[in-house]
A = this chain, B = another copy of it.
C-alpha cells in the first residue's frame, strides 16, 4: 500500500463524519457525482413506501391535513433553513430551481424603485439561470447584462435592479464571495439573488448573517433529496411583505380554501408557494434531510476542504502533468466542494473512469468534474479516484 493510501486510511479513521456514511445506500463505486444527484439515504425507501401505501392509499384525501401534506412546503423549508444559515419562516420548498429563479428575479425587480431597469447576471452561470433571467428581464422591461461575478461591484449603479449570482460555479467549482458581493449589491440599492445549488449542504452559506435578499437552490445534490426533488426559495423576512410573485397560485393565497376570485397574498414565506405541491418527491426530501441530524455544516466544510486538498495532492502525484489542469481555485476561500480538471479528451476519460468504478461527470466540452460529498465520501475514495484517473490518463 502506498504512502498516500496509508494516509487516507488514517484520515478516514480520524474522520468525525465517517459514521454518517452508514446513513446512505452505497456500494463499491467511488461516487463523486453527489453534486449532480446525491446518494440515497437508507431510510428513505421505507418512508416513501409509507407515504404511498398508507398516506395516499389508505388515508387518501384526509392526508392533506392528517399527514401534514398541506404544510410540507414551509415545514421542509424550515428544515433546510439551518443548513443555509436562515432563521425559520423564510424558505418554502416547491417547483424546480428554474421556476424559483423566475419568481425571485421578477420579485426582485418589483422590490426595487422606479428607474432601476437592469439585471446583472453571472455570465458563466448554469445556463438555465441565464435563460430564465433573460425571460424575467423581457417580461419586466429590464435589460440583462451578463458579466463575471468579479465585475459586479464596478457595474452596480442607479439603474441596477437585481443581481443574480451563483454561490459556486457549477463547472469550475469556484466559490464566489457572497458576503462582499451581497454587501455591494445592497449598498447600490439593488436586490441580490443567490443560486445555492452547488453550495447548500456543502459549506456554510450564512443567508441571514450576510443580509442576502433572495436565494434559490435545488435539493437533489448535496441535500440528497432524490432525482428532481423540489427546489426552494428564500425571501428575507424584511422583504416578505413587499415580495410580489409573478406566479401567484392558489397555494400562496392568504385564504387558499376561501376560493375567492381576488388574489390576496399570504403573509411571510408562504407567498413563494404556487400550486399543489408534489407530495411524493417532497416527502422523500423531508426524510432525506434527516441524515443531517447532529451534523454541523462547519464540520462538513472542514472535511470537504481536506478531501479536495488531498484529492488534488493525489492527482498531482498520480496523473501525468500534461494531461490535466485544475480549474478549481486552490485557495480555500475560493473553492466549493468539487474539483474540476480540464482535460482535452474529458468525455472519453470520464467513460473509462466510470467503467472502472469511479463516477464523476463530464461537462462539455473539456471538464472532468468530481464532486465531494463529505457525508459519504472518504479519503480512501479520493485516493482511489486519483489513482484510477492516473492509470486511465497514463494508459
Contact = CB atoms under 8 A, between A and B. Distances in A.
A371 to B, nearest CB: 10
B359 A130 contact: no
A69 interface: yes
Nearest to A60: B37
A33 interface: yes
B228 A102 contact: no
Given A33-B61, A227-B69, A52 B249 contact: no
Contacts of A379: none
A130 B55 CA distance: 31
Contacts of A280: 48, 226-229, 280-281, 284
Contact of A139 (B37, B96, B126, B139): B139
Nearest to A125: B261
A140 B135 CA distance: 12
A17 to B, nearest CB: 20
B131 A226 contact: no
A243 to B, nearest CB: 14
A127 B61 contact: no
Contacts of A57: 25, 39-40, 45
Contacts of A55: 227
A333 interface: no
B364 A27 contact: no
Contacts of A363: 259
Interface in A238-286: 245-251, 253, 257-261, 263, 274-282, 284
Contacts of A220: 276
Interface string A60-72: 1101100001000
B98 A250 contact: yes
A275 B61 contact: no
A72 to B, nearest CB: 9
Given A40-B56, A218-B276, A263-B134, A127 B253 contact: yes
A39 B63 CA distance: 12
A33 to B, nearest CB: 5
Contacts of A63: 227
Contacts of A146: 261
A245 B138 CA distance: 12
A230 interface: yes
Nearest to A136: B246
Contacts of A258: 364
Contacts of A260: 127
A173 to B, nearest CB: 15
Given A25-B58, A96-B276, 16 more contacts: A27-B58, A37-B61, A37-B64, A45-B52, A48-B52, A98-B274, A99-B274, A126-B259, A127-B261, A146-B261, A220-B276, A228-B276, A228-B278, A257-B364, A259-B363, A278-B281
The 8 A-B residue pairs with the shortest CB-CB distance in the complex, in nearest-first order: A96-B275, A98-B249, A98-B275, A227-B279, A128-B250, A40-B57, A278-B281, A228-B278
